[in-house]
Amino acid sequence: MGRLRAAAWACVGFLGTAPLAACDDRAAALSPPPSLRGVASAPCSVLRAESPPEPSAARGAMTLPALIEHVRPVVVTITTLRAPSFPDGRAGPALPFEGRVQRVERAIGSGFVIAEEGLVLTSAHVIGDAFGIEVQLSDERAFEATVVGRDPTLDVALLKLLGAGSLRVASLGSSAPVRPGDGVIVIGSPFGLGPTVTRGIISATSRPMGTGSLDGFLQTDAAINPGNSGGPLFDATGQVIGIATAIHADGRGISFALPIDEVLEILPELRETGRVDRGRIGISFQEVTSQLARVLRLPGRMGALITEVEPEGPGARLGFRPGDVITSVEGRRVEHARELARMLRRAKPGDEVELIYKRDGADRRATMKLDPSASHEPSSSWRALEDRAPRGAEQPFGVLASDALEGARIESIAPRSPAAGRLEVGDVVLDLNGAPVRGGADLTARLGAAAHQDLLLRVRRHGAPRYLAVPAR
């Protein structure tokens, strides 16, 4: 999960640092452009009518070069100015002070025009905490841009180009009919090189990436590189079916795009209010694997396994516990965790949701009133574990563990041991078979005593809790 999360940020191409005398100097360099000749489309409020007038059949009959020439004018390059970060991740000051010139980071991303008056969609992480945004069109005209709204949950941002008008607009399609094998093209600005086209196919749909908020990405082998993030994924007819979002840090030809249907659902609210209000259930959950189903004594893979309950949140008030499995929402069976996430993304604060969940093999019911959404940054106690010398010794399970602020930190794993391939060095074991772990020595003793049993561990990995099942050997 950590590699994928890091990969999402890697799609923004950083161009390093450069001196900046004053933020206001950028405005003087951005002169209002003349009107762009060409076809103008309907405004963004008519979501799927915002396309150039060529019919789908005509676009489908185009050669690939003609199709690229047709869609390239809707793709933009986004340059952001950001304050350099301190080693601990905090942003530094954004403006000059005491007569000195503060150095800033310049980063490159991509986006695409969705309304002729200059509305541009991109990824929220492309914008980040930028204090200056410049958007360049395919004809090399540049505009200063402001943020209309952003949705961190889907990693989407909406920009407005100041002084722009009569721009060519992307045709927004649907990601619902997309199938593995469908041809796609990606256009963006990798490494700041300028508009670049790559071609590939859809490798998979509804791909879980373990990023929590959305587990239904389109996977493609079309090359996506730093600088492509926020750019469009086109189908063979030139319609946008996704937004380039992430790459897999350890693989080649493994890239991910946010399905456009997810964006279209929240776009009117994002444009109107600048944000998307969602109800908060106050729990984290994961997919139930076959091994977890066996250890949990479920009839098969089903539902969403609760991994963490937020203190004083809606879930905690109703008594939910890690290890509970949500199997139904509003009478609709939950087969996969991503289905629960999708249902909850559509819920609003104050909505009441009827849930059915399993605990110790028995079905239970609860009606939950959702709270307003809030950030879910891990607490400092989860991020900053104590760095102590390992205590305990390797035992039949094959791990060496040390004390952590909560639970026990895995320091080493013996090859070919039961833990190999399941636990990772740096994992913090929170629970073992439903009981809290009280440090390295406690974990070592309990693993040794349970050497020939199925084990259910709740661990924190890269800041997020998850369950792991280890069958008996």
Contact 74, 232 (CB under 8 A): yes
Q: From the candidates 155, 371, 431, 442, which is the catalytic residue?
A: 155
At which residue do the structure tokens 């977890």 appear?
A: 292
Q: Spell out the residues 6+ positions from residue 123 whose beta carbon is closer than 8 angstroms to its own.
A: 11, 109, 155, 156, 157, 229, 230, 243, 244, 245, 258
Q: From the candidates 171, 175, 229, 373, which is the catalytic residue?
A: 229
> Is 229 among the residues known to form the active site?
yes
Longest Cα pair distance anywhere in the chain, in angstroms?
A: 77
Integer Cα distance of 194 and 250 in angstroms? 25
Q: From the candidates 41, 110, 125, 189, which is the catalytic residue?
A: 125
Integer Cα distance of 449 and 452 in angstroms? 8
**CA angle 288-264-47, nearest 5°?**
160
At which residue do the structure tokens 């729990």 appear?
A: 283
Contact 134, 78 (CB under 8 A): yes
Q: Spell out the residues 6+ positions from residue 301 whose beta carbon is closer than 8 angstroms to its own.
A: 287, 288, 289, 290, 293, 335
> Is 125 among the residues known to form the active site?
yes
- Residue 267, SS3 per DSSP: helix
At which residue do the structure tokens 């380039």 appear?
A: 244
Q: Strands 371-372, 119-122: parallel, antiparallel or unpaired by DSSP?
A: unpaired
**CB 67: neighbour CB atoms within 10 A?**
20
> Is 123 among the residues known to form the active site?
no
- Residue 291, SS3 per DSSP: helix
Contact 309, 322 (CB under 8 A): yes
Q: List residues with catalytic annotation.
A: 125, 155, 229
